[in-house]
Amino acid sequence: MLDAFLAPDVKVLVQGATGRSGRSQTAQMVAYGTNIVAGVSRRDDPEVKIPLFKTCADAVRETGAKASVVFVPPLDVLAAINEAIEAGIELIVTVAEGVPVHDALKAKAATREAGVRWVGASTPGLAIPGKMKMGFLPNVSLAPGGLGVMSKSGTLSSEVCYRLVERGFGQTLWVGVGGDSVKGTRFADLIPFFAADPATTGIVIVGEIGGSEEEELADALIAARCQKPVFALLAGRSALEGVTMGHAGALISAHIGTIETKTAALRKAGAEVSPSIKLLIEAVSKTLAPS
């Protein structure tokens, strides 16, 4: 059922395949099993072991790629997304940190209009454990299993999943949606896929203060009549008001996006909200059987 979101054997191209991080991450994605068919870069690079093309359009025409993972600097992300849309890519994952919000807004409008799914602006990517990954979710935190995972923070979800994997709980699909305020795929967008997927036996949400995504997610859980156990961890309950704590989206102002509003909404939707990583892992262990 998750194939509707992402097929494990989808043909993937890498935009920015010859940069420092693009080159090394491409090799790691290939090693993990991702069906990387092409790289896109303006320059040649003999160290890159996949077919390189000058443009997305060339790469798509020659290889039939349907998905793209983008390793370009933050100020070049919008142009890369537009190029991917033009070339007919259906899923775009962007991983650069520091994409300006106004660019993200334009990218959101463009992907929406074209009917293209965008995971970004700044995310560690996504993975179907044991099969493929786009981006750099760490291998030590990935294992096939029954949890549907979605996260704002890469580091916090890596820690959480690493410890869940140690206890025998792997993932069906893990999507890092990122910590930006304007983003392509929001928590609520993923609920229909996880709710309908028989292999997903529980859902783990790694959220944080700021914005209203967790509140929307609670509404989506209710709307989908999702009966699966949902476990949430929300970071930033002690964040300083008026200051950006690392993530642009994690900025609280007045009474919007606080831990209290998010916790209340998620609990009303039947989710178990844990105050610590340890308690989240205990909650999962008590409710579900390891895979």
Q: Which of 115, 198, 225, 238 binds other proteins (CB under 8 A)?
A: 238
- Choose between 18 and 181: whose C-beta lies nearer to other proteins: 181
- Choose between 132 and 281: whose C-beta lies nearer to other proteins: 281
167 binds other proteins (CB under 8 A): no
Stretch that binds other proteins, among 37-45, 46-54, 57-65, 175-183 (CB under 8 A): 175-183
- Choose between 243 and 289: whose C-beta lies nearer to other proteins: 243
Q: Which of 19, 22, 146, 154 binds other proteins (CB under 8 A)?
A: 154
Stretch that binds other proteins, among 52-60, 63-71, 190-198, 246-254 (CB under 8 A): 246-254
79 binds other proteins (CB under 8 A): no
Residue type, 93: V
Verify whether residue 102 is a known catalytic residue.
no
182 binds other proteins (CB under 8 A): yes
108 binds other proteins (CB under 8 A): yes
The first and second tokens of residue 191, run together, are 């609920």
Side-chain-side CA neighbours of residue 17 (13 Å): 34
> Is there a contact between 122 and 72 (Cβ–Cβ < 8 Å)?
no
239 binds other proteins (CB under 8 A): yes
> Is there a contact between 41 and 63 (Cβ–Cβ < 8 Å)?
no
Of 247, 258, 273, 280, the active-site residue reads 247
264 binds other proteins (CB under 8 A): no
The first and second tokens of residue 244, run together, are 């950006």
Q: What value does the CA radius of gyration of the chain take, rounded to a whole number of Å? A: 18
Q: Which of 242, 260, 286, 289 binds other proteins (CB under 8 A)?
A: 242
The first and second tokens of residue 281, run together, are 């892992």
At residue 73's C-alpha, the angle toward residues 152 and 38, to 5°, is 90
The first and second tokens of residue 84, run together, are 């991917």
164 binds other proteins (CB under 8 A): no
Inter-axis angle of helices 187-196 and 213-223, nearest 10: 30
Query: Which residues fall within 8 angstroms of residue 5, CB to CB, at 6 or more apart?
Result: 117, 173, 190, 193
Cα–Cα distance list, 25 to 110, 130, 159 (Å): 27, 17, 20
The first and second tokens of residue 252, run together, are 């609280």
Q: How far is the CB of 238 from other proteins (least distance, A)?
A: 5
192 binds other proteins (CB under 8 A): no
- Choose between 31 and 254: whose C-beta lies nearer to other proteins: 254
Q: How far is the CB of 288 from other proteins (least distance, A)?
A: 21
98 binds other proteins (CB under 8 A): yes
Report which of 173, 177, 97, 80 is spatially closest to residue 133, judged by C-alpha positions: 173
Q: List alpha helices for 54-100, DSSP H.
A: 56-63, 77-87
List of residues contacting other proteins (CB under 8 A): 74-75, 98-102, 105-106, 108-109, 112, 136-141, 151-159, 162-163, 179, 181-183, 186, 206, 208-209, 211-213, 216, 233, 235-251, 253-255, 275-278
Residues noted as catalytic: 247
